[in-house]
Amino acid sequence: MMPYFKFDYFGFDFSLVVAFIIGIGFGFALERGGFGNARILAAQFYFYNMRVLKVMFTSIVTAMLGLFYFTWIGWLDISLVYIGDTYIVPQIIGGLLLGMGFVIGGYCPGTSVVSAATGRTDGMVFIAGIIFGIIVFGEMFPLLEGFYNSTNLGRVTLVDFFGLSQGMLVFLIVLMALGAFAAAEWGERFFAKKNGRGVE
Amino acid sequence: MNSKKENSRGEKEFEPKPYSNPYLVGFGLGLILLAAFLVMGRGLGASGAVSTVVAVGVEKIAPEHAAKNNFYSEYLGDGTSNPLKDWLLFEVIGVLVGGFISGALAHRIKRTTEKGPNVSVKTRLIYAFVGGAMMGFASKLARGCTSGLALTGGAVLSLGGWAFMLSVFGGGYAVAYFVRRQWL
């Protein structure tokens, strides 16, 4: 049965080897996608290159469908897959702030690692910024703790929230992703013409 | 196909290859994320690894201060195991290696600063630091970043993950106009 780690197919020390291998794949994919380059990432927010949306939604849909089918054929116990609790207000505020940091800084934590690995000074400085931001958060934590732990809705998924069946929700997300891809392709051509620049 | 050109010193050098098809990359990334779920029962992440390093650093400098703080102590554990033996930290070291391998194969390793044509390197690096600091703070407030919460939470249909993802796009588009000189 999967997930293998939860059924003790291997121990903690080997899980760190797995982490390293999965990380290599993750970093490789991010670099292939152009995500080691802040200009490609930032372009998402000016509509002339929508790679962030395309890669993100394709990977979410791929993993989501995989989880759905592996559960359906009975190879995966989905209840053992970690789903973090929802803290709705801190996560919305954090998301807005993180999105602003994305456009200002040009990366997110994972992509800045790839950027630094491929020699970009801005990626390295960005990582220094992340460290600083986490220290600030850590030092302010006694003040923030109440807000940080507020509005805990528990282990809630979209299935629970919308009251739809799992299959219907998965189907709707696939449809939404296809719609987003069509809009992204159209938007890129439209804004490329308007801004007088090609899609990189 | 194998695009070599001569630089100013007359040496042959490889031109960087174009980035891959985004849908293909997304499919590959989705399979890696799926593998993490199937093998480990958890998804990907990034900011948590930095938190571990920060917590260990603070503990080295000021052990009592770190022990009193619930945020640091969560990453330091109960002292029975080394906090640096952390799944996300090993994963992020892998990201560093994987990014380098991909970049090297495509001749995209370059000491440079990515920025728009209308902004100085110094300004760009100040923005990078400020944006990074905002992101470090925000990823802790939200309990995850683009990888750990939006991507991973998105695939497991977490309500918080989706709310977070939409907020990230919302926050980004809201300020994009004001920092356009940096990129356009």
Q: What local confidence, expressed as pLDDT, does residue B34 receive?
A: 98
> Which SS3 state, helix, strand or coil, does residue B42 take?
coil
Question: Hey, which residues 131-160 in chain B have their CB within 8 Å of chain A?
Answer: 131-147, 149-151, 153-160
Please check whether residue B128 lies inside any domain of the structure.
Answer: yes
Structural domain containing residue B151: 113-184
Interface subset of A 24-53, CB within 8 angstroms of B: 24-34, 36-40, 42-46, 51
**Cβ-defined contact of B100 to A161 (cutoff 8 Å):** no
Contact residues, A window 155-194, toward B, CB-based 8 Å cutoff: 156-161, 169, 173, 181
- B63 occurs within a structural domain: no
Contact at CB, B34 and A63, closer than 8 angstroms: yes
Domain membership flag for residue B82 = no
ipTM of the complex in this document: 0.95
Considering only the beta carbons, identify the residue of A87, A120, A133 that sits closest to B133: A133
* Chain A contact for B76 (CB, 8 A cutoff): no
Would B150 be classed as within a structural domain?
Answer: yes
Closest CA to B158 of A76, B166, B134, B27: B166
Instruction: Give the residue extent of every domain in chain A.
Output: 4-195
The pLDDT tens digits of the residues spanning A103-127 come to 999 999 999 999 999 999 999 999 9
Residue B161 lies in a domain: yes
Note whether residue B77 is domain-resident: no
Burial of B44 (0-12, 13-18, 19+ CB in 10 A): buried
Residue A29 contacts by C-beta under 8 Å, 6 or more apart in sequence?
Answer: B25, B28, B29, B32, B98, B102
Return the residue matching tokens 């809201």. Answer: B174
Q: List the pLDDT tens digit at each of the 200 positions of chain A.
A: 999 999 999 999 999 999 999 999 999 999 999 999 999 999 999 988 999 999 999 999 999 999 999 999 999 999 999 999 999 999 999 999 999 999 999 999 999 999 999 999 999 999 999 999 999 999 999 999 999 999 999 999 999 999 999 999 999 999 999 999 999 999 998 887 776 655 45
Q: Provide the residue-wise pLDDT of chain B in tens; the chain has 184 residues.
A: 445 556 666 566 688 999 999 999 999 999 999 999 999 999 999 999 999 999 999 999 999 999 999 999 999 988 888 999 999 999 999 999 999 999 999 999 999 999 999 999 999 999 999 999 999 999 999 999 999 999 999 999 999 999 999 999 999 999 999 999 999 8
Does A152 lie at the interface with B, CB-CB under 8 angstroms?
A: no
Query: Is B139:A109 a contact under the CB 8 Å cutoff?
Result: yes
Say if B127 is an interface residue toward chain A (CB within 8 Å). yes
Q: How many domains is chain B built from?
A: 1
